[in-house]
Amino acid sequence: MSEDPNGKSPAPAADSRWLWLALALALVIALAKALGVASDPMGKLASADNDDIIRFLQVKAWFDGQGWFDGRMYQLLAPEGLDLHWSRYVDLGIAAIVWPLAHIMDLDRALGWGIVIWPVLLFVILLWATAQTARHSFGLSAAIFAVLALIFWYPTGQGYFPATRIDHHNIQILLTSGMVFTLILPGRAPVLGLIGGALAGLSLAIGLEMLLSIALAGMVVAGRAVLKRPGAEAQFLRFCLSISCVSLLAFAGQTAPSVWFAPRCDVLSLPYLALTIMGAAIATTYVLSVGRLQPVAQRLGGLILLSALGIVVLFPLIEPCFAGPYGALPDEVKQVIHETIIEAKPALTPLLSGDKATFVHIIPPLVATLIASGLWLWKVFGGSAQSQVTGRLGILLLFAWLGLIGSLSQVRLILLGAQAYPLLIGYTLAVLFALRGRSRGLLPTLGFLAVVTPTYFAPALTQISLPFFKSSSTEVDFAGQADICRKPEVLSSLNTLEKSRIFASSNLSAPMMLVSNHIGLTGPYHRSPAAMADGVLPFAQDETALRKALARTDADHLLLCRNATHWNEASFATKLANGLQAKGLTPVEGIHQELVLLKVEK
């Protein structure tokens, strides 16, 4: 039996059929999309995100014999290859699906099925976990609305979990969602602490993008321990011990011993391991000594003092990482990131200018968080608060606001709150629906519509021909016009050439490597600032800049998308794509008409 949003009577057991119906609907939608891709997974992958393509090539290289600890992509910037900072554990998850399939079909077909099944499997687990958590925390109605929110909110329903989306963001959303769920679910506190810490440790091993969410979770369990909530000290201690142990084991499992002590800032390494160990030491010291103090102010002061001492001790080790993974990049490369990747831009500017992608990412959680914050304040100060429900809501709001505030720096940081938004949407709609049914007032109805409309109809709204909505600049300037050029049947025409070094924009380099054995020379990966810059700048600049890049990379060919604007209508690359003849750049015949391939005369 589960509590309703207002903490009153349990939901009738018979009504659970509506939750099962919502789950069935979600599964049907997810499976229908997957089956639609299954007939041509490589075609879908080629038009997907470049990171998904490179992840696939990394998995394929592992099956072809590349070492577990060797994370280089040798087809990119050959012969040295490009060193990727990605986790092998994502490759392992995909391979766990591919390996048994490869015993009943050829490897290429097994790989195709693997990249279809993996993200859908993660989504199914997320659906089940969200439904159960919402039901046990806020009631049946909230669970139904939360499941529907997972389907319709763009990042979860269409962005990171559809078939062939095999980069690491989806599993990070799943792991950190589980971590947050352990903070609000009823149950044995020590067990919840162990599970939450383990999920956080695995998330760190896969990538550091959720580091702030994990830190916030640590602050939540610490704060509850200070307030002497039942079982909170045990949960705090076990969360910190678990995240430390799992991080250490996961680090050792995917990192070559020769680089164990290399202080890298873009991957789980010595600085971040030191933080988790220090966290475990602080939690242990708190529980054994500081936690025994009676005044809450003394417990809080002691915890703050322990944390400050820990930071002082670790400061020389962690200080170089304060600038983030992009801190050491040249300014021109940082400018490329912020000007050409819409998700790397601060949310406010594209949002106010009507960018569709930003709208579907930001508006649904923003509206739900604002109304949920109002409901929380109403319950706290209105005297109608149910302590457990209000406390759970308050924890979710912390993560929701973290994501929204983070998005003011970069749109993609909205994912810092992705664990909370479906539950918040579910809770908010359940409460407003109940209030509307009892009072039939206008305010609950308006609030209900304010949450429902952007959450469930945002993609449809952006399809309406309104002056406010527009595509991002990168879609207009290049990516959108180059979709045809990324298709496998177009790029596979390059296989008529002998293996060569092909200089192409980042948007063409990855799909080219997917369907051919040619060597790519550009890619949006920060461990090679030159390759990141070369993927954009030479194509947007004059003849001198492009020719210097061709010479520096020892390119055999220059690949362009015919008649496409390469970020700048006046650039030399754009002129070449539109038919300009230039000395030393000889057109190659016999490839697809959508492409312009020029042989670089050396």
Whether residue 131 contacts residue 146, with contact meaning beta carbons closer than 8 Å, is answered with yes
CA 488-120-2 angle, to 5 degrees, is: 160
Query: What distance in Å separates the CA atoms of residue 239 and residue 194, rounded to the nearest whole number?
Result: 5
Determine the Cα–Cα distance for residues 391 and 159; give it in Å rounded to an integer.
Answer: 31
With a CB cutoff of 8 Å and minimum separation 6, the contacts of 224 are: 232, 235, 236
Per-residue pLDDT, 327? 65
**Do 365 and 482 form a contact (C-beta atoms < 8 A)?**
no
Q: Which of 114, 234, 235 is nearest to 165 (CA)?
A: 114
Return the closest-CA partner of residue 536 out of 487, 451, 446, 473: 473
* C-beta separation of 261 from 216 below 8 A: no
Q: What phi and psi, each to the nearest 5 degrees, are found at residue 308?
A: -65, -40
Give dist(CA 560, CA 556) in Å, integer: 14
d(CA 400, CA 410): 15
From the CB of residue 133, how many other CB atoms can be counted at a distance below 10 Å?
25
Question: What per-residue string of b and e applies to 320-337 under the rule 16 or more CB within 10 Å gives b?
Answer: ebeeebbeebeeebbebb
- DSSP characters over 104-172: TS-HHHHHHHHHHHHHHHHHHHHHHHHHHHHHHHH-HHHHHHHHHHHHHSHIIIIISSSTT--STHHHH
**Per-state percent for the chain, helix, strand, coil, to nearest 5:** 65, 5, 30
Could you tell me the two tokens for 77?
A: 């910037």
Contact 211, 386 (CB under 8 A): no
**Which pair of structure tokens corresponds to residue 399?**
């993560």
Question: What is d(CA 459, CA 489) in angstroms, rounded to the nearest whole number?
Answer: 29
DSSP character at residue 416? G
Integer CA distances (angstroms), 124 to 162, 424, 520, in order: 11, 20, 35
Q: What is the mean pLDDT of each run of 10 residues along the chain (602 residues)?
A: 44 68 90 90 88 95 94 92 93 96 94 96 96 94 94 91 94 98 94 98 96 97 94 96 97 94 91 96 94 91 95 93 72 68 76 79 92 90 74 96 94 93 94 76 80 76 55 42 80 94 93 94 88 90 94 96 87 93 93 94 86
Cα Rg of the chain, angstroms: 26
Could you tell me the CA-to-CA distances from 381 to 53, 206, 252, 393 in Å, in that order? 51, 41, 49, 14
Closest of 192, 203, 173, 177 to residue 232, by C-alpha? 192
Residues 6+ apart with CB under 8 A from 15: 140
Give phi and psi for 565, each to the nearest 5. -85, 115
DSSP state of 84: -
Q: What angle do CA 475, 481, 482 make, to 5 degrees?
A: 100
Q: Tokens 């390119």 map to which residue?
A: 555
d(CA 72, CA 86): 10
| Model pTM score | 0.92
Distance of CA 567 to CAs 400, 504, 573, Å? 35, 13, 9
Instruction: Please give the Cα distance from 161 to 157 (Å, whole number).
Output: 7
